[in-house]
């Protein structure tokens, strides 16, 4: 810590701004590398996209529905193995306290899959997709009314609140909720964060991992690059009394899953089926009532043997924030790049929960972080000063527990 007559400075090697999966994972990696670092978040940990996600850690098979491997499917192929190592305590981040909701994911179609059948059986996808024999079907599909094809993927599903809590616990004492008075200022090519009481945070690098908030942060520093894109979704939340916890994509005529189902525990003891896929991508244009009617019709058609008469349906509007792509397409890879015109700011979007390890790796490889970490004593001093002024944020609840 240092001071002038009117200001006190807290000096960090790296300040991570934003407490979703991106910021939390990065903080963990930076601390392990010895940097004097802290995470500062405006909202609760995981709020916005992270706790609204379906928690799938996937290897990109859902991007192969064109019948070919794509950049997106290949960039992500190693990720389930990377996360599995972390979950077992053998990876670059210790996730042993994260709950696994399912260690596999299914993909099914009610009709014939045509040329995809031979593609899924091809060498290109060996080890990533496996046809499920009738005798091995999960309970949900163990019904004579089901006559389609079913595949099992190496993908898995994590319980996101426990993932966020796990990372917050690993890094307790280094995570802070920003106060309402905080303000950004730019001095020529350098960004600084004022806490509003004469305290100023200075960092060799600020890494913006604020999801949708990255754009406003850049604007506050009069920077207009990199640009952000927003892809809106309206997910469907279905609370019901059917006993099946299921995780899978339903394939339709399109090149993206028609419906993606993940299952989550709910505080009232009922099962929540959380529905995404094309239903949600197209759903943002529909009213709540229209989407609920469409979702109900889909479930009745796909699972005629289940009863959804007493199920409660609600919708969740949420925006995905990503680096801008031509034609608003989904980015293939994680993003982390310095901000042009500012010497100490980098912007990062993981673009998927699954790709967060890659995003953190990219940040750690940046030239901007090439300097040696400060001595441990500087870390202790900065952290003591931050703790005197700011409190830790709490973990955001699952979105359907608050509506």
Residues in contact with ligand FAD by CB under 6 A are 17-23, 41-43, 45, 47-50, 52-56, 178, 209-213, 216-217, 233, 235, 276, 318, 320, 349-354
Closer residue to ligand FAD (CB): 110 or 333? 333
Q: Is the peptide bond before 306 cis (omega within 30 degrees of 0)?
A: no
Residue closer to ligand FAD (CB basis): 23 or 138:
23
Minimum separation from the CB atom of position 393 to ligand FAD (A): 8
End-to-end CA distance of the chain: 43
Contact by Cβ (8 Å): 174, 38? yes
Q: Residue 338 burial by CB count (10 A; 0-12/13-18/19+): exposed, middle or buried?
A: middle
Nearer to ligand FAD by C-beta: 27 or 318?
318
Output 200 or 373, the one with its CB closest to ligand FAD. Answer: 200
- Asked if residues 234 and 283 have their Cβ atoms less than 8 Å apart, the reply is yes
Q: Are 273 and 238 in contact (CB under 8 A)?
A: yes
CB of 142 to ligand FAD, least distance (A): 25
CB of 135 to ligand FAD, least distance (A): 29
Which position has the token pair 């917050």? 168
Give the span between the Cα atoms of 67 and 251, in whole angstroms.
Answer: 13
Q: Which is nearer to ligand FAD, 201 or 311 (CB)?
A: 201
Q: How far is the CB of 112 from ligand FAD (least distance, A)?
A: 27
Residue whose CB is less far from ligand FAD, 11 or 49: 49
What is the smallest separation between the CB atom of 82 and ligand FAD, expressed in angstroms?
12
**Closest distance of CB 178 from ligand FAD, Å:** 6
Contact 27, 203 (CB under 8 A): no
CB of 241 to ligand FAD, least distance (A): 24
Which string of DSSP letters, residue by residue, matches 292-329?
Answer: HHHHHHHHHHH-TTS--TT-EEEEEEEEEEEE--GGGP
Nearer to ligand FAD, 235 or 344 (CB): 235
- Beta bridge partners, 57, equal 156
Q: Distances in Å between the alpha carbon of 91 and those of 105, 127, 241?
A: 22, 21, 38
């Amino acid at each position: 810590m240092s001071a002038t007559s009117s200001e006190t400075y807290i000096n960090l090697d790296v300040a991570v701004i934003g407490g979703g999966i991106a910021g939390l994972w990065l903080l963990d990696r930076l601390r392990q590398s010895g940097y004097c670092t802290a995470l500062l978040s405006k909202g609760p940990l995981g709020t916005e996209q992270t706790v609204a996600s379906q928690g799938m850690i996937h290897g990109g098979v859902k991007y192969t529905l064109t019948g070919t491997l794509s950049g997106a499917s290949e960039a992500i192929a190693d990720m389930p193995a990377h996360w599995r190592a972390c979950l077992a305590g053998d990876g670059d981040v210790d996730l042993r306290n994260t709950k696994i909701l399912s260690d596999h994911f299914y993909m099914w179609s009610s009709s014939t899959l045509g040329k995809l059948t031979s593609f899924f059986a091809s060498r290109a996808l060996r080890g990533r997709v496996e046809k499920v024999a009738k005798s091995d079907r999960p309970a949900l599909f163990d019904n004579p009314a089901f006559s389609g094809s079913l595949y099992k993927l190496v993908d898995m599903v994590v319980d996101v609140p426990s993932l966020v809590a796990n990372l917050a616990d690993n890094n307790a004492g280094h995570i802070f909720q920003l106060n309402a008075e905080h303000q950004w200022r730019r001095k020529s090519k350098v960004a600084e964060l004022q806490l509003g009481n004469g305290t100023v945070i200075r960092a060799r690098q600020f890494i913006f991992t604020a999801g949708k908030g990255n754009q406003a942060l850049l604007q506050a520093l009069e920077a207009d690059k990199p640009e952000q894109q927003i892809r809106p979704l309206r997910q469907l939340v279905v609370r019901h009394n059917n006993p099946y916890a299921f995780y899978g994509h339903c394939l339709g005529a399109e090149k993206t899953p028609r419906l993606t189902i993940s299952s989550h525990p709910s505080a009232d003891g009922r099962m929540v089926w959380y529905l995404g896929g094309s239903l949600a991508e197209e759903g943002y244009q529909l009213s709540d009532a229209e989407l609920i009617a469409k979702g109900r019709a889909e479930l009745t058609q796909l699972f005629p043997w289940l009863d959804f008469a007493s199920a409660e349906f609600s919708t969740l509007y949420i925006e995905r924030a990503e680096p801008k792509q031509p034609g608003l397409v989904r980015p293939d890879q994680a993003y982390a790049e310095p901000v042009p015109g500012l010497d100490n700011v980098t912007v990062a979007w993981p673009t998927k929960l699954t790709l967060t390890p890659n995003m953190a790796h990219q940040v750690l490889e940046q030239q901007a972080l090439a300097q040696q970490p400060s001595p441990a004593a500087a870390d202790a001093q900065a952290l003591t000063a931050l703790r005197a002024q700011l409190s830790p944020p709490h973990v955001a609840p699952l979105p359907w527990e608050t509506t």
